[in-house]
Amino acid sequence: MSDLRIAVLGVGMMGAFHADALSSRIRGSRVSVVSDFFADKAAEVAGRVGGRVETDPIAAINADDVDAVLIASPGQAHDEQVNACLDRGVPVLCEKPLTTAVASARAIVDREAALGTPLIQVGFMRRFDPEYVALKKLITDGGLGNPLLVHCTHRNPDVPPHFNSEFMIRDSVVHEVDVARFLLDEEIVSVQVIRGVATSAAPAGTSDPMIVVFETASGRIVTDEIYVRTGVAYEVRTEVVGERGSATIGLDQNLVVKTTDGRWGGSITPGFVERFGIAYDIELQRWVDAARTGTIDGPGAWDGYAAVAVCEAGVEAVLTGQKVAVDLGAPL
């Protein structure tokens, strides 16, 4: 079977990382087309991976030399681009968010369902991280008994100034939304946000850190500390507390303990590419393998939609200080 020919839309940090992976580390794929608003970026990445540049992303989706599409463009472009993939019936891996509004995300879910084949995968890479996979298996196998609580810690060393409290929910907390749904296998029904004292590194009006509290359909509680200007390193930890025990992941599996200069210690991953590099590659390989047979293998349109809806409620919770209910509407 010949290689899957992929159009990569958007080659900022994430898109360029994926394009490199698809043209080197991933089996059975090549990047045939690259599209980006910035022509010089597109040309640079296309030159490196051996693809051609197509300025118009919709033309890229419809090109004869494209079998599947990877969307890593800014979130506002996703609605039109994902719908164009559905129009053409090609598999797509869309980085989060699926879209930037609840209604458009739901419309995509319904459209894909009417087509009858899952074509949309959403880039929640943590589901492919070996530690998250092991934690999920531990829960599913009953190793912790009934899971009662999930405690998440999500810290970034720094972020650009536009990361205000609302953006932190949409761009960072969105991962814990998906992790909670993945680990507990149920929907989130409400969100609450507690805003405390902010780090002096945060712009005026931005609450960083915040504590986000989710409640699931069966009444389980998930807490998430989101703190994106720690000045330290990339730290993502998750603890599940069950009736028969607890388990924690994210304790820096890359830890190499050094005993020098009369001290001991190790290193923490500096950013999400280092922490989740393996997860991204596993995600891409599974998606490519599935896309070559015309489908997907990972979180789908519904997962993308649920995340958009929970984050929307989260933003309302930030702005109002209230506990906000999430209503996903009719199940599929």
Binding site for ligand ISE (CB under 6 A): 156, 171-172, 175, 228, 272
CB of 255 to ligand ISE, least distance (A): 19
Closer to ligand ISE at the Cβ: 182 or 272?
Answer: 272
- The backbone torsions φ and ψ at residue 156, rounded to the nearest 5 degrees and listed phi first, read -115, 150
Query: What is the residue type of 206?
Result: T
> Rounded distance, CA 92 to CA 72, Å?
11
Strand partners, 153: 225, 237
Query: What is the residue type of 193?
Result: V
CB of 174 to ligand ISE, least distance (A): 8
Closer to ligand ISE at the Cβ: 66 or 307?
Answer: 307
CB of 10 to ligand ISE, least distance (A): 13
CB of 95 to ligand ISE, least distance (A): 8
Among 26, 24, 62, residue whose Cα is nearest residue 45: 24
CB of 320 to ligand ISE, least distance (A): 23
Closer to ligand ISE at the Cβ: 23 or 172?
Answer: 172
> Rounded distance, CA 262 to CA 325, Å?
53
- Asked if residue 189 lies in contact with residue 326, where contact means CB atoms within 8 angstroms, the answer is yes
Closer to ligand ISE at the Cβ: 97 or 242?
Answer: 97
CB of 44 to ligand ISE, least distance (A): 22
Residue nearest to ligand ISE (CB): 172
Closer to ligand ISE at the Cβ: 65 or 239?
Answer: 239
Closer to ligand ISE at the Cβ: 61 or 177?
Answer: 177
The one-character DSSP state at 166 is H
CB of 2 to ligand ISE, least distance (A): 32
- Asked if residue 57 lies in contact with residue 77, where contact means CB atoms within 8 angstroms, the answer is yes
Closer to ligand ISE at the Cβ: 272 or 302?
Answer: 272
What DSSP letter does each residue of 65-95 carry, written as one string? T-SEEEE-S-GGGHHHHHHHHHHHT--EEEP
- Asked if residue 26 lies in contact with residue 288, where contact means CB atoms within 8 angstroms, the answer is yes
- Asked if residue 97 lies in contact with residue 310, where contact means CB atoms within 8 angstroms, the answer is no
**What's the chain's length in residues?**
332
What DSSP letter does each residue of 117-164 carry, written as one string? S--EEE--GGGGSHHHHHHHHHHHTTTTSSEEEEEEEEE-S---TT--
The one-character DSSP state at 241 is E
Closer to ligand ISE at the Cβ: 4 or 72?
Answer: 72
CB of 156 to ligand ISE, least distance (A): 5
